[in-house]
Amino acid sequence: MDINLGLQESVKREKADLLEYLMRRFGDRVLRLAYYYVRDRYLAEDIAQEVFCRVYRNLDRFKEESSYYTWIYRITVNLCRDYLSSAWFKRWIPWENIKNFIRSSDTENRLFRKLEEGTLFQKVMDLPTKYRMVIVLYYFEEMSTREIAKALNVRESTVRTRLCRAREKLKGLLSREEYV
């Protein structure tokens, strides 16, 4: 009986160690991806936390049909989609109306200030979600079209089409700004 208890503790320790590794390796990327998706820092932090809770709960079910990277990104995208389609989010007051009343430390804001700098980033964030996400994953996260297709659960040809259309939309947005 003591052998079983020792084995269970060993499995728990291995699972916790793997989770810690995955969080260190992909934590910042998951946070950025969630931010790109929901466009709100605090919501992105909540989603990133939930992603790793789900990763921990489902580590035993990971089938190694893809990399951990792709699996975690898919969980993140699905959580973001669920959140954006939830009834609560649709009734939610836009963050822009209240964020000026809340102050955070410079340390917490550093990543997000860096992300929000520049015209190109703002234009990418203005794209519809399906175009924004392929641009973010391809250029900012440097994922291949195959990895993006797995993460978004779409065909690779769909990813290539969305990339092409997103580039066209970005060119249009940026050229309009030049003439203003």
Dihedral angle sign, alpha carbons of residues 106, 107, 108, 114: positive
CATH class of 1-111: mainly alpha
What average pLDDT does the structure give for the chain?
A: 79
pTM (2 decimals)?
A: 0.65
What are the structural domain ranges in the chain? 1-111, 118-180
User: SS3 for 127?
Assistant: coil
Q: What is the pLDDT of residues 94-147, one digit of tens each?
A: 444 434 433 444 444 454 454 455 667 778 888 888 998 898 888 888 889 998
Residue with tokens 């989010």: 89
Q: How confident is the model at residue 156 (pLDDT cuts 50, 70, 90)?
A: very high
Task: Judge whether 1-111 and 118-180 match in fold.
Answer: no
C-alpha angle 130/136/140, rounded to 5°? 170
Q: What is the pLDDT of residues 52-66, one digit of tens each?
A: 999 999 998 888 777
Non-local CB neighbours of 103 within 8 Å, separated by 6+ positions: none
Q: Indicate the fold that domain 118-180 takes in CATH.
A: Arc Repressor Mutant, subunit A (1.10.10)
